[in-house]
């Protein structure tokens, strides 16, 4: 397997002994070795953990800082060969000044020493009493033992396996312009923060949001390890808060006030996702951001890391409350887009085809919500069922019920006679159920909708969703076409949840029953005749694979920019009940259909973007229609 660019990040807190450098050194060495046994790639300890943060005026006593600097050499030597990059908080003396620093250690070597830039000296903090800020340094190296080691807050440590590590310390994150901003602009993909942030009421929540949001604004992984057990509780309390975030999402959030043994918190971070985000968001860089020094270090014994858990439904929030809120917000965005289009065009009527399936049901709900926003009469919704060769009683009854319950102008146009005439005109046998047989029906329906819209002065509202656009699962100039596509950025897996949320929160009991019936109906274009029992013969998922998988592939291919091998490995973790062969086959279908279907996406109608993945050629996705899908 190729390197999939996952790395295991960790925070560590132990029962620090105030001023006992030998005991703390031993604990640090033990924790590094333990983390290495767990295949940790990068490990962050709290601020000043080698001495303890709360030593206060003892930092000024003769010999303490010198012993701490020598202890760094012992830590490096004792952990040689572990290959885990460790970040250790320690005081460091340089050119007659004392600095609060983080030492970055790898494979027997102190790679760099980073001083703290912003020293809090307010409320319970007195750091300027003992330390100088990074700006006071007049040397860019520091002598430790026999080596001159890079020193400064302008350093990125780059490992041979692609970690680009920047460092800031505690208060540095809380200021207006953190050092990590410049490091991120210079290409850092990981920021480490050894911290000693005490706890007061509600501070933990603020800290959590700060780390998470900063990882998002900087497009990187942020590893934050705060002081805990053992620090002085004379005036404050420390909780040992561990936070690992990646591009705005928390990967780990753990705290514990009292420790009997060291606590290591791990999370898998994705360097490829981070770097893809940094490349895509090209407003991110600036000339000033490149003014950093790079220190390189070799990692010889890499381990292939894979996450233990992968979200199988990246478009759908997992928890009930968040899911409800997200679904309501999406429906409101769709309705707002349509309402605005109607107001600006001066149109009063919408025309929509209703099949009794998921997509047309959601589009009808969007029109209803838009009409309520602008105070439009529901009779201006011209809802048309167009039964054909494959229409079943189940879907027809669902369509009729929905139109009635919404209060729309309900119409039925049977397309079978027109389709038969067209087949006769072009010489298509009626009993040959090929793509021509299917597409004749789709195009006939679109023609009816367009003609009715012309006659009534209305807007044809499209029903096709994001998943269908990705797969090209639509008839060119058939259901592919409309005057405004309200579902264009809603994936199939999310469509069902939005309808279910509407049923739970807004619909009358009768409408809720119909909506749940729609959600339980087999996904089908209903273009082939029903079976002998009158049931739906044609299943979309039987033909092209599960939409659960396709939406997972779509998110990771477009949003994260992952290659096929990585998507497949992640899917196997996300869907443990689906065998690898089925995942491989469905992924092959996705990759082929996505790449050959760009010509359909290149001319899709307008429609509102509501999520982080969209395929509009005027917005998020530009791709040549003749892309070499065999080799690309």
Task: List residues with catalytic annotation.
Answer: 47, 116, 170
Rounded CA-CA distance 573/575 in Å is 6
Strands (E), 95-146: 97-106, 109-115, 141-144
Three-state SS sequence of 54-94:
HHHHHHHCCCHHHHHHHHHHHHHHHCCCCCCEEEEEEEEEE
DSSP string for 297-322? E----------S---S-TTS-SSHHH
Are the CB atoms for 246 and 211 separated by under 8 Å?
A: no
Beta bridge partners of 517: none
Q: How far apart are CA 164 and CA 293, in angstroms?
A: 11
Q: Which of 47, 93, 52, 53 is nearest to 70 (CA)?
A: 93
- CA–CA gap between residue 150 and residue 142 (Å, rounded): 7
Tokens at residue 338, please?
């349509």
For the record, the structure tokens of 323 come out as: 């899911």
| Rounded alpha-carbon distances, angstroms, from residue 11 to 2, 82, 362 | 27, 16, 45
The DSSP secondary-structure symbol of 511 reads: H
Instruction: Return the HEC string of 136-186.
Output: HCCCCEEEECCEEEEECCCEEEEECCCCEEEECCHHHHHCCCCHHHHHHHC
Residue 34 in contact with residue 263, Cβ under 8 Å? Answer: no
Tokens (6 digits) for 48: 């000043």
Contact between residue 95 and residue 138 where contact means Cβ atoms under 8 Å apart: yes
Distance CA 191, CA 384 (A): 56
**What six digits make up the tokens of 268?**
């898998």
- Closest to 355 in 3D by CA, of 311, 388, 377, 318: 388
Residue 48: half-sphere exposure toward Cβ, Cα within 13 Å: 28
Tally the C-alpha atoms within 13 A of residue 28's C-alpha that lie toward its C-beta. Answer: 36
| C-beta contacts of 116-119 below 8 A and 24+ residues apart | 116/153, 116/168, 116/169, 116/170, 116/171, 116/172, 117/153, 117/168, 117/169, 117/172, 117/179, 118/171, 118/172, 118/174, 118/175, 119/171
User: In degrees rounded to 5, what are phi and psi of residue 482?
Assistant: -165, -170
Q: Is the dihedral of CA 369, 458, 383, 330 positive or negative?
A: negative
Q: Rounded CA gap, 139 and 134, in Å?
A: 10
How far, in Å, CA of 467 to CA of 473, rounded? Answer: 8
């Amino acid at each position: 397997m190729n390197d999939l660019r996952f790395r295991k990040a960790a925070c560590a807190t132990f029962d620090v002994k105030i001023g006992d450098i030998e005991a703390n050194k031993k604990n640090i060495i033990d924790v590094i070795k333990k983390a290495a046994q767990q295949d940790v790639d990068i490990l962050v300890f709290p601020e000043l953990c080698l001495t303890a943060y709360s030593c206060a005026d003892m930092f000024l006593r003769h010999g303490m800082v010198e012993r701490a600097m020598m202890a760094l050499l012992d830590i490096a030597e004792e952990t040689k060969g572990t290959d885990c990059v460790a970040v250790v908080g320690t005081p460091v003396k340089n050119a007659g000044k004392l600095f609060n620093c983080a030492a970055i250690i790898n494979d027997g070597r102190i790679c760099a020493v980073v001083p703290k830039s912003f020293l809090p000296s307010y409320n319970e903090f007195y750091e300027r009493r003992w330390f100088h800020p990074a700006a006071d340094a007049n040397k860019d190296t520091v002598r430790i033992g026999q080596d001159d080691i890079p020193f400064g807050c302008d350093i990125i440590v780059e490992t041979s396996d692609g970690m680009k590590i920047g460092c800031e310390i505690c208060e540095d994150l809380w200021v207006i312009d953190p050092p990590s901003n410049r490091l991120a602009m210079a290409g850092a993909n990981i920021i480490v923060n050894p911290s000693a942030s005490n706890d007061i009421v509600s501070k933990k929540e603020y800290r959590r949001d700060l780390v998470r949001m900063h990882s998002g604004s900087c497009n990187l992984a942020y590893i934050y390890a705060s002081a805990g057990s053992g620090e002085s509780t004379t005036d404050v309390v420390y909780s040992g808060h561990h936070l690992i975030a990646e591009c705005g999402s928390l990967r780990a959030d753990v705290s514990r006030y009292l420790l009997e043994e060291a606590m290591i918190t791990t999370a898998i971070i994705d360097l490829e996702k981070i770097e893809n985000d940094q490349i895509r968001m090209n407003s991110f860089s600036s000339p000033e951001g490149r003014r950093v020094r790079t220190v390189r270090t070799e990692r010889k014994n890499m381990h292939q890391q894979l996450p233990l858990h992968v979200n199988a439904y990246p478009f759908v929030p997992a928890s009930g409350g968040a899911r409800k809120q997200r679904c309501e917000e999406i429906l409101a965005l769709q309705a707002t887009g349509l309402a605005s289009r109607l107001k600006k065009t001066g149109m009063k009527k919408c025309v929509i085809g209703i099949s009794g399936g998921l997509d047309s049901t959601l589009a009808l709900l969007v029109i209803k919500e838009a009409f309520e926003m602008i105070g439009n009469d529901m009779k201006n919704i011209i809802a048309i069922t167009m039964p054909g060769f494959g229409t079943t009683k189940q879907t027809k009854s669902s369509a009729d019920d929905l139109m009635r319950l919404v209060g729309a102008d309900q119409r039925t146009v049977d397309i079978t006679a027109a389709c038969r005439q067209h087949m006769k005109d072009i010489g298509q046998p009626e009993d040959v159920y090929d793509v021509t047989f299917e597409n004749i029906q789709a195009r006939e329906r679109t023609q009816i909708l367009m003609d009715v819209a012309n006659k009534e002065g209305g807007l044809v509202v499209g029903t096709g969703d994001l998943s269908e656009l990705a797969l090209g699962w639509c008839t060119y100039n058939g259901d592919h076409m409309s005057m405004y596509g309200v579902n264009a950025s809603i994936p199939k897996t999310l469509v069902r949840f939005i309808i279910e949320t509407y049923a739970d929160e807004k619909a009358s009991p009768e409408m809720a029953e119909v909506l749940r019936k729609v959600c339980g109906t087999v996904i089908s274009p209903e273009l082939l005749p029903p079976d002998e029992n009158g049931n739906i013969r044609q299943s979309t998922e039987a033909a092209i694979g599960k939409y659960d998988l396709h939406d997972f592939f779509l998110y990771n291919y477009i949003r994260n920019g992952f290659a096929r091998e990585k998507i497949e490995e992640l899917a196997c973790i996300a869907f443990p009940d689906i065998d690898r062969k089925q995942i491989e086959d469905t992924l092959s279908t996705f990759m082929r259909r996505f790449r050959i279907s760009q010509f359909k996406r290149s001319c899709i109608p307008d429609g509102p973007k509501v999520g982080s993945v969209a395929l509009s050629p005027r917005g998020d996705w530009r791709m040549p229609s003749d892309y070499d899908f065999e080799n690309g």
